[in-house]
Amino acid sequence: MATLLIADDHPLYRDALKGALSVSLQDLKLLESSDLPETIEILEQTEIDLLLLDLHMPGSNDLFGLLHILKLYPDLPVAVVSGTEDPLIISKIVGVGALGFIPKTASSAEIGEAIKAILAGDVWLPEGLSDSIEEVDEAFSQLADNVASLTPSQYKVLCFMREGLLNKQIGYNLDIAEATVKAHVTAIFRKLGINNRTQAVLIASQLELEPPVKS
C-alpha cells in the first residue's frame, strides 16, 4: 500500500483529489495537511511514498515550500499540484527536483496516470507541456539550493525585502522586533553568499517569490 500526503490549504480541493484518487487507484493510504509546518510535521513522523504539494498553501508561497522540503527530504518523491500552468514556473519546479506537475484542472484519469508514473520513478507532465519545458542552468540550481537553506522566517523576510520594505516595516508585518529582522537579514546574506539588499531582491525575483500574507 502506498501512502500519499496531500498538502493543500483548500479542504474542498483535498476532498476532490481524494475522490479522484479513489476512482483511479486502489490500495492507497491518504493523509492531509494544510500548511508547510503541518506538512513537515507529518513527514517527520510518517514514511510517505509521494507528496502532492500545492505551491500556494500557507508557508509555501511558490517555490520555497518545494525547495525547503526537498532540502530536508532529498529522497522524497514530490509532485506539485497547482492551478499555475506557466511553462517557466513548471520548468523551475521540475528543474529543482519535483517528479511531476499536475494541474488542478486534470481529470481523474490524468491524476491516476500521473500518480502511477511518479510512484514508478518517472517524471510526469501533462500532455502538450513536455515540449515547452526548459532545462534550468547550473546557476539557478545553485541559487535554489541556497534559498532552500533559509528558515521559513528568513524566507518571509526575503519576500518582504523584495517588496522594498525597510527592516522596521518588515518587523511590523511579521510582528517581530527590528533587531530580529536585522539578524534574519544578516543570516540571509550569509546563506545566499551576497552582501546587499539589491542582490537579495534579484534572487527573490528569479525564484518568483511572493510576499507572505499576514494572518
Q: Whole-number mean pLDDT of the chain?
A: 88
Percentage above 70 pLDDT, the chain: 94
- Output 82 or 169, whichever has higher pLDDT: 169
pLDDT(40) > 70:
yes
Yes or no: say if 161 and 81 are a contact pair by the CB < 8 Å rule: no
8 Å CB contact between 63 and 92: yes
| Residue 130 pLDDT | 67
State the CB neighbour count (10 A cutoff) for residue 206. Answer: 15
pLDDT at position 173 is 94
Q: Supply φ then ψ for residue 10, to 5 degrees.
A: -105, 105
Q: Is the pLDDT of residue 3 over 90?
A: yes
Residue 209 has pLDDT above 60, yes or no: no
Which three cell numbers, joined as nine digits, stand for 12? 474542498
Q: Give CA–CA dist 181/184, Å, rounded.
A: 5
**Do the Cβ atoms of 160 and 76 come closer than 8 Å?**
no
> For residue 108, is pLDDT > 90?
no
Contact, 45 vs 136, CB < 8 A? no
User: Which domains does the chain possess?
Assistant: 2-132 (3.40.50.2300), 150-206 (1.10.10.10)
Which among 125, 145, 135 has a CA at the least distance from the CA of 95? Answer: 135
Q: Extract the runs of DSSP E, i.e. beta strands, from 142-199.
A: none
The larger pLDDT score, comparing residue 187 to residue 212, is at: 187
Q: Which amino acid is at 90?
A: I
Provide mean pLDDT across the span 78-94: 85
pLDDT tens, position by position, 46-55: 999 999 999 8
Q: List 7's β-bridge partners, or say none.
A: 33, 53
